[in-house]
Amino acid sequence: MNLELVLITGMSGSGKSVALRALEDAGYYCVDNLPPELLLAFVTLEEQIAAGQVAIAMDVRSAQSLPIVPSQLRELQRRGVRLRALFLDSTTDTLVRRFSETRRRHPLSALADRPGDELAGKPDLQNVLVEAIELERELLADLREQSLVIDTSVIRAAQLQAHVKSLLAAPASQLTLLFESFAFKRGIPVDADYVFDVRMLPNPHYEPELRPLTGRDAPVADYLAASEEVAQMYAHIESFLTHWLPALARNQRSYVTVGIGCTGGQHRSVYLVEKLAAAFSDRWTTLTRHRELDQG
């Protein structure tokens, strides 16, 4: 049995330690902040001792050697390692708030703290922090491109742990399609490969008996199913994905995230996510995530 390796990378403050704990709970042997120079040697050692599941976290503290990681990942795949790369991301505003709340120093603050970044004779710490975050995005761009991106901006630690476990439960040998409902008022998920706006559709929120329900409930589903506009929107999204998903699979994509957004993330987007997931489940490995409902 080939080694299964999960590589966790991402932005500082995005929840990598939370994801690593989820994998440890799931039975993975976990290593935090492994230097990239040791990756191939470490994997070789784990193969020799017949380890089954290993998870490694790397971050920008290894900035100087991060550029070698993409080529290492390709080499591991050529060697038959079952590799999954996860990239945790959050909006810059969210990361600034988290660093401010915890009073932690960003690992790249020293690089971003350049002469001239001063206000009233004191360093403008927020400007330095934003610059450090943007520098980190540049350094990690290649790794992000090769990974499944998970947006942790508006989810709690328990949600992230459950999300990571559900993603890794899906077969690794084929494309996995993730449908995600969300509310535009809370921002577009940064992990979405495609985003469809359904706010122009009839809104059950304005029907008093439907307002407390969700798109998973039969009365809401019946209400939306009776709308010709909803049917047209569903048909257009279904047709688009049916046409392009095979091309993405041929391009060796492991995951595709489709975001469906409405105003509150409760009725229309949830209904369409459930309907689309059911339609594609016989063609692809399909997962659902309801960002706003899961908050409850």
Report the chain's mean pLDDT, rounded to a whole number.
Answer: 89
| Binding positions for GTP | 59-62
Q: Which two tokens stand for residue 70?
A: 């993409």
Nearest to 143 by CA among 226, 58, 216: 58
For residue 20, the enclosing domain spans 4-169
* Parallel/antiparallel/unpaired status of strands 118-119 and 122-123: antiparallel
Nearest to 108 by CA among 64, 56, 153: 64
Which stretch, 52-56, 234-238, 250-254, has highest mean pLDDT? 234-238
Instruction: Specify the pLDDT at position 50.
Output: 77
What's the rounded Cα separation, in Å, for the pair 258 and 275? Answer: 13
Residue where a domain stops, chosen among 169, 204, 235: 169
What's the rounded Cα separation, in Å, for the pair 81 and 76? Answer: 6
What's the rounded Cα separation, in Å, for the pair 211 and 264? Answer: 11
Query: pTM for the whole thing?
Result: 0.79
Residue where a domain stops, chosen among 111, 141, 169: 169
pLDDT tier for residue 115 given thresholds of 50, 70 and 90: very low
Same domain, 12 and 158: yes
Would you tell me how many other CB atoms lie within 10 Å of the CB of residue 158?
11
Contact 175, 249 (CB under 8 A): yes
Inform me whether the pLDDT recorded for 19 exceeds 70: yes
Same domain, 29 and 96: yes
Q: What φ, ψ does residue 10 adopt, rounded to 5°? A: 145, -175
Has residue 275 been placed in a domain? yes
Instruction: Specify the pLDDT at position 49.
Output: 85
pLDDT tier for residue 24 given thresholds of 50, 70 and 90: very high
Same domain, 94 and 234: no
Mean pLDDT of 155-160: 89
Would you tell me how many other CB atoms lie within 10 Å of the CB of residue 118?
12
| Binding positions for ATP | 10-17
Same domain, 205 and 164: no
Residue where a domain stops, chosen among 139, 169, 199: 169
Amino acid at 125: L
Same domain, 13 and 153: yes
CATH of the domain at 11: 3.40.50.300
Has residue 296 been placed in a domain? no
